[in-house]
Chains A and B, each alone.
Chain A
Amino acid sequence: MIVADRKPFEEILDSIKDYKKIMLMGCGGCVTICFSGGSKAVELLASQIKMAKKKQGKEIEIIECTPERQCEYEFIDACKEQIESTDAILSIACGVGVQTMNERFPDSITLPGQNTKFMGYPVKHALWEERCAGCGDCVLEWTGGLCPIARCAKKLFNGPCGGSSEGICEVDKDTDCVWQLIYDRLKRLNKLDNLLAIRQPRDWRTSTNAGQRKVKFEEAML
């Protein structure tokens, strides 16, 4: 899932300072699951904003709305009329939702209320960790299912570096060295041979290097 984290409240307030009527828009997808952008989060943030505005002696009208997904026209189109009656939209979906809104409603501005972080999953209650950087050429097949791109601070393909110590990454005391994990896992699977071959330099064109990427599903194209 996509994991996003709320922007600092002051930053949010500042971004909407010129507007009297806004739509606060959540998303029923990933951000609902990571607690930061579902309908409950929308409700909470709306009252927080109203209180802050009141303190400043200002009024704001907020329409709340949480479509099933903010990243598909089908789900956001239902809000069209309400959107036209507002000065701006504050979105607490991920960056994809924000952009979908801006493209679908070019006469309104949709502002980001979240910092979109990564693709990951909750490793335990209320703790999400990054697992995939969307590099476009997955190597999990030979690493025992552990990603050296999203999880190694140096994106090594022939790790671990000399700073791996007692299972911990040299860059952050709270993070496992993924190369130690890869080693342990391959040992367990009796596949340490995978680490003997020198892995060749990566072709980064599949990653974020060559501009915007696209995926076509030919069979489904009209």
Chain B
Amino acid sequence: MKSGSRLEKVLIAGEFAVTSELGPPQNADPEVIKKKAQYCLGKVDGVNITDNQTAIVRTSSIAAASIAISCGIEPIVQMVCRDRNRIAMQSDILGAAALGVKNLLCLSGDHQSFGNHPQAKGVYDLDSMQLIAMVKKMRDDKRFLCDDPIKEHEPRLFIGAVANPFADPFEFRVLRLGKKIEAGADFIQTQCIFDIDKFSKWMEMVVKEGLHKKTYILAGLMPVRSHKALVYMKNNVAGMSIPDEIIKRMEAAEDPKEKGIEICIEMIEQVKNIEGVAGIHLMPIGWESITPVLLERAGLLPRPEV
């Protein structure tokens, strides 16, 4: 066992894992975090706490994770390379572990130009690949990046990374996943999947390379409430593939919320049947309350005892 996190145990037990997401607020109110945490309590195996997502200032992911832990949630702390250099990152990794965090997801991060401080100096001292390797080095070699030893209490973290099967160059995406695994990614969460065909093709390549045996792949899914959200993402978010068919289905629906749930459940069924998929990662952005409903209807509750 690398971290002893619930997520790690569920995956090792061969159970279909479920993670979800919690975005900290743009203020200092702990109640927002506690309220959102209630939607996930006992329903998922880990909750991503986003790190100033889309480069908009929010409560720090580690502080929010600590509040989530006090509510009984197991957080997956996201850490981006945009805002911190290697000194601050290692310090935060130690701090997170000291607060009881057991999962860390490493990302390069949305570029600062997308957020509410586009004037900020981006850091990018390390890239996501190097961050993954650094966390692994701290955990397994008990050394800081500079090689100084961590004499005791090294951070025991289950290391996550992301993969986007829909970005380009498509052929390189699987090789890049391989690199992330080699760097130390214990689990992978993918970009939101709407294009099941493209995702299946990618997973075929992943399985062919045997990568699904070296890491756990969680398929990213996003329940949506309106076709407008899909159209917006299609036009504005780089590296997403959204088939027109789904947009049409949402647009034609009498009850779009219900249709959104239906489509998401359909997708859960589909990804469950794809070889190499070890679980799902739900991203109900701005619609956190739907998580328990969705999982209940998808037959993913109760969560297994581990």
Contact = CB atoms under 8 A, between A and B. Distances in A.
B177 to A, nearest CB: 11
Interface stretch (B8-16, B152-160, B161-169, B267-275): B161-169
Contact of B127 (A154, A168, A170, A180): A154
B172 A201 contact: no
B133 A198 contact: yes
B255 interface: no
A156 B169 contact: no
Given A201-B125, A204-B125, A164 B168 contact: yes
A81 interface: no
A167 B168 contact: yes
Given A161-B108, A165-B168, A171-B111, A154 B238 contact: no
A180 B169 contact: yes
B41 interface: no
Contacts of A156: 108, 124, 127
A14 B183 CA distance: 54
Interface in A168-222: 168, 170-171, 177, 180, 183-184, 195-196, 198-202, 204
A142 B278 CA distance: 35
A195 to B, nearest CB: 7
Given A162-B162, A162-B167, A164-B167, A201 B108 contact: no
B130 A164 contact: no
Main DSSP-derived SS at the A contact region: loop
A161 B109 CA distance: 9
Nearest to B113: A171
Given A154-B108, A195-B172, A160 B130 contact: no
Contacts of A160: 167-169, 172, 176
B238 A165 contact: yes
A166 B239 CA distance: 9
Nearest to B162: A162
Given A154-B81, A164-B167, A170-B239, A159 B111 contact: no
A157 interface: yes
Nearest to B179: A198
A196 B82 CA distance: 24
Interface of A: 153-168, 170-171, 177, 180, 183-184, 195-196, 198-202, 204
